[in-house]
Amino acid sequence: MKGNNLKFFFLGAALVATGLWAMAVTIPNTFTSGEALSAAKLNANFAALKTAVDALEAAVPGKQNRISGTCSEGRYIRSVNADGTVVCGNPGAFGQVREDGSLRGGALNVAAVTKGTGEYCITFTVPLSQGQLETAQVTLAGDVSSGVLFPRVNNGQAGFTLSCPSGLQVVLTTAAGTKTDGRFSFSVPPQ
């Protein structure tokens, strides 16, 4: 190295050595002004520094590894584990269904609604878990011409005649228990 470059090298080495000294790193070789440098001694110092830096990186609590996982289409990343793997979540769904079974605009994650008398099967663009379907909320919407209706989510219970293997089953009944059509909104929380 020539003049100025050598000066900057020693200045950088001194700063690194001072910082490492504060972290209690033992540098095996020191140099004095005018002393000839040897590659073996410099390499030994750099090896000591690398060992210390590697130990510091390993000891950093909460260090996040690179994200290594993905979620299938339509699902989202809920959280990332320390090892970089991901936990995927299902989106929620919501919408409003008219008496004739058509969807009012603004529905989220709804593929289709199938209708029978007082029965509705709502299917989704991304499959939802049974736990999500069990926590669905159904609320009546608008005026109800046939009196008070009682909405209920009927997943897998008796009395539902529409085939709805993986959707949300909703039944609307009067106080007397008669199935009847009506407007309602529904929401299924994300998971």
The per-residue pLDDT for range 130-187, each reduced to its tens digit, is 888 888 888 887 655 545 556 666 555 556 667 777 788 888 877 777 787 888 888 8
Please tell me the predicted confidence (pLDDT) of residue 20: 46
CB atoms within 10 A of CB 21: 11
Give percent of the chain with pLDDT exceeding 70.
73
For residue 190, give the DSSP letter.
-
Task: Give the pairing of strands 184-188 and 137-140.
Answer: antiparallel
Please tell me the predicted confidence (pLDDT) of residue 133: 83
Beta strands per DSSP E along the chain: 76-80, 86-89, 93-97, 110-116, 119-124, 137-140, 149-153, 168-174, 184-188
- The residue ranking higher by pLDDT, 191 or 145, is 191
- The answer, yes or no, to whether residue 30 has pLDDT greater than 70, is yes
Each residue's pLDDT tens digit, 106-127:
888 899 998 888 888 888 888 8
Please tell me the predicted confidence (pLDDT) of residue 16: 53
Q: Kindly report the average pLDDT of the chain as a whole number.
A: 78
Please tell me the predicted confidence (pLDDT) of residue 4: 60
